[in-house]
Structure 1
Amino acid sequence: MHEEEDASSPNPEQLPIFKKGREIYELTVKITDLIPDEDQMLCTYKDFMLEDAANLTVKVAGAEAADLYDIRMENAAIIRKAARDLMTHCSGLKMFGFKETQYLHLIREAIEEYRLLFIDWVSTFDPWNYCVDRWGLFNPPGVSADDYDPDGDKE
């Protein structure tokens, strides 16, 4: 019975994308720790980078817990934005005088590996397990924002 529970609700921490996200977060911590505390601009970037790197695991866990297609896709969109912003922040660090730029390629390379895992992960989302997204952004193909939703409509 314990094995059945594990199969129906996998631990997101065991997923390759979650593990890679954790690795990116730890790498981001180590690199941003090299930012001098007195440099206000770079410290602002540090805060943004740590938040974006944290979202690479937090939003995977949220998507796995939600299970619904629309919620999973919403979390995936946030992850994509966080990963892209993290790469942009690397450029910002360089532009604003971060001295240890030789390490920034490590974040970029890890994000590329994460991107490939992300593609595989998103392909596992079940488009038939959904509630209609009334905003129209995260509906499965063929579902419209004004479609009847037997699980969500009270009419």
Structure 2
Amino acid sequence: MRFDDDDNDEFFDWDGFNDEDDDPEETQREMEAESRRIENLPVLRKARELLEVTQAIVSTIDPEEDVLMMHEQMIANAMMLAPKIVGAEGGDLYTLRMENAVIVKIHARELLAQTSYCKAERLADPAYL
């Protein structure tokens, strides 16, 4: 058995790959339905809401007092939530889903710690915190 012989098709059944059975319109409808399902997930809507709230919080932070650049860190953490949720939901691999779930958890906890820091240091408007 030679592995460099590209003309040897006896080891693979190519008949199972018939493109005539695929309906591109049906495939497109399935992809659009899956996209709508993901877009309507409550956790994804909450992640987008958290981004809006975070933007409101950081807009009240005085740049003169923000020596740790909390503004940029909070926005970065909030912006990571939605794409990782979509990645976790869109992937069929368990390991990919769990990896994205852990990343979401890390960024959400960092955001919680950062809001607590802003509250303790009185960096942001307490009405948002």
Report which of the two structures shows the higher radius of gyration computed on alpha carbons: 2
Matches within 5 A, 1:1-155: 1=26, 2-7=28-33, 9-11=34-36, 12-41=38-67, 44-104=69-129
Structure-2-length-normalised TM-score: 0.69
> Gaps (5+ residues) in structure 1?
105-155
> Would you say the 8 A contact 2:58–2:124 is kept in 1?
no
Structure 1 residues 99 and 61, CA, compared in 2 at 3 Å: closer, same or farther? closer
Report SS of the residue matched to 2:128: helix
> Would you say the 8 A contact 2:62–2:124 is kept in 1?
no
- 1:13 to partner: Cα distance: 2.3
> Would you say the 8 A contact 1:53–1:86 is kept in 2?
yes
Structure-1-length-normalised TM-score: 0.59
Alignment identity in percent? 36
CA distance in 2, matches of 1:37, 1:86: 18
CA distance in 2, matches of 1:61, 1:99: 30
> Would you say the 8 A contact 1:45–1:92 is kept in 2?
no
The runs of 4+ residues in structure 1 deviating greater than 4 Å are none
Query: AA paired with 2:126?
Result: T
Report SS of the residue matched to 2:35: coil
Query: How large is the Cα RMSD of the aligned pairs?
Result: 1.8
> Would you say the 8 A contact 2:47–2:78 is kept in 1?
yes
**Count of matched residue pairs:** 102
- 1:25 to partner: Cα distance: 0.2
